Amino acid sequence: MGVDDAIVGTFIGAFTISTGLWLHRALIKRNKGKPRIPFQGVIIALASLVATAATLEISGIAAVPEFFKILGTDRLIFGTLLGGAISLAAFYAHERMRRLNGRKNFIPLQGMILPLLAIIVLDIVMTVIGLFSR
């Protein structure tokens, strides 16, 4: 469709982090509001991200010729890891904003808007500076 692999990767990374954090919340509800281990949310989210990146790499979906790589990494894997990191940072920014506002959102659907906006801005910036262009 003409969309760069790295841009698709940023959305894959954001989706895997969101899925990991959703699983974390489901486990907390099941355990009556308490996590079983320290940093459970981060561990689950990062495990989800690493498992997705490893699956893409092992299956060969991300395989591209050497001259199409970014910093020696396949474009899809690079985008996945970068999108995951940005999504995780946006989630913690959302949590920080909620703490500052008395456990309320500043805007409706803030938890969905912040990561999506962060990924879109990342993709636009990276396209403008030429990192995502072949």
Residue 105's SS3 state is coil
pLDDT at 1: 66
- Against a cut of 0.85, is the pTM above it? no
Task: List the pLDDT tens digit at each of the 134 positions of the chain.
Answer: 677 888 888 999 999 999 998 899 899 988 888 888 888 888 998 899 889 988 888 888 776 677 677 777 788 888 888 999 999 899 989 999 999 999 999 999 998 999 999 999 999 988 888 766 55
Helices 40-59 and 75-100 pack at an angle, to 10 degrees, of 160
pLDDT at 67: 65
Tell me how far apart the alpha carbons of residues 134 and 132 are, in angstroms, rounded to a whole number: 7
Domain ranges of the chain: 5-129
Nearest to 119 by CA among 48, 46, 3, 15: 15
